[in-house]
Amino acid sequence: MSEAIVLGAGMVGVSAALSLRDRGWNVTLIDRKPPGQETSFGNAGIIQSESVEPYAMPRGIRDLFDIATFRSNDVYYAFRELPLHVSSLLRYWWYSESGRHREIARHYATLIARAAGTHEPIIRRAGADNLIQRSGYRTLYRDGAKFDEALARAKDIEREFGTRFRALDPAETRKEEPALTNAGLGTIHWLEPWTAADPGALVTAYAELFEREGGQFLIGDAESLKALPSGKGWSVRTRAGTVEAEHVVVALGVWSRGLLERFGARFPMVLKRGYHAHYSSPVALNMTLMDSDRGYVMAPMRAGTRITTGAHLARPGQAPVYRQLERAEASANELLSLGNRVEQEPWSGTRPCMPDMLPVIGPVGGQKGLWANFGHGHQGFTLGPASAELLTAMILGEKPPVDPAPFRPGR
């Protein structure tokens, strides 16, 4: 029986482990924490079938000025931290040029198109339908010009990719969301995305399915990864002892970069920290709502109304800075009665964003049996099963479901 180790028990890693196990492989999933407790725990819980374009870096003078002067809540940074990020940000800015971004989106959309379809059978097998709402989510605009611009772009996306949406005026928005006291100037309701009432619990359900079907999860140290002296496999230390396998998949999100540098592979990465907290809203939203002009998302979840923030360009290990979350709280209270924070301390986690906005999926050059599956940015929760499908085909030497070249580690 073929054997593999998967490092990282977020949505991406769990999906990869389950996919290989489904093909009859002996798979050990290893993480320092139980499944779904890192970045996969803290997102907005959206499986974004409409997100055919990855998040580009703003290039307009006004947008960059707003970010530089902290008028925008989409991005936060400290001047003393910028030297750490300059190289990756310059690459990100270069790839965000409209022509390059269109080409990137063309490849990105091939994975997004498979997102819901690859989640569906796992949700069913895991018995996790109670966590999923299949009615989409809404993006609210406070600025009429920005709404008009977004509506025009939504029509283009619908025309090119068939992604369905509805445009709502403020009265229609308020009728569908009675909790709102302010409905902005226009709302786009994306009809096809799904949302999870507890993202961490969904990852846990997938991991429990993996174990029920014969997979093994162990607490272990990814940093202990070593090539076997024979050159025919890999070993990792765990609490249960050392595990060996012919193949190893690195699905460690932001931690993938540091680990793979030891094996001669360098990956520039934009480190975007995000924050979330839950609130005891007296009247909850019916559907997840993005407040586009203020850079945050409100999502009705089991623990309360979750607010998730944009990007904090933070140094690894830096203490949390809650400025974005505090500004999001104030903005949310302009739309509805948010209530009190449920947790004493907000959650924070860092998204692994590649400068060219495409995930890294495939063999790591010069290292037999070493595979990469990370760098999904804001969409690891969405793209976990679709990425696993692509990676499994490559490992097994089968025809891949999409062109793997744009995602190759050596690009």
Task: Quick: pLDDT tens for 177-230.
Answer: 999 999 999 999 999 999 999 999 999 999 999 999 999 999 999 999 999 988
For position 1, what pLDDT does the model report?
61
Alpha-carbon gap, residue 6 to 205, rounded angstroms: 17
| pLDDT < 50 positions in the chain | none
For position 383, what pLDDT does the model report?
98
For position 79, what pLDDT does the model report?
84
DSSP string, 298-327: EEEETTEEEEEE-EE-PPTTPPP--HHHHH
Q: Which residues contact 153 (CB under 8 A, 6 or more apart)?
A: none
The partner residues of 373 in beta bridges, in order of sequence, read 361
Distance of CA 4 to the CA centre of its chain: 24
Per the structure block, which two tokens stand in for 72? 């925008």
- Of 258, 310, 408, 316, the closest CA to residue 85 belongs to 316
Per the structure block, which two tokens stand in for 132? 């999923």
Per-domain residue ranges of the chain? 1-56+96-131+192-269+354-411
Q: What percent of the chain has a predicted confidence (pLDDT) above 90?
A: 86
Helices (DSSP H) in 199-292: which residue ranges? 199-212, 255-261
For position 61, what pLDDT does the model report?
82
For position 210, what pLDDT does the model report?
98
The partner residues of 273 in beta bridges, in order of sequence, read 312, 350
Residue 97's CB is within 10 A of a number of other CB atoms, namely: 13
Q: Which listed CATH number (3.40.50.1950, 3.40.390.10, 3.30.70.890, 3.50.50.60) goes with 1-56+96-131+192-269+354-411?
A: 3.50.50.60
Q: Which residues contact 9 (CB under 8 A, 6 or more apart)?
A: 17, 29, 30, 31, 33, 34, 35, 36, 37, 203, 207, 217
Query: What are the counts of helices (DSSP H) followed by strands (DSSP E) for the chain?
Result: 11, 21
For position 40, what pLDDT does the model report?
80
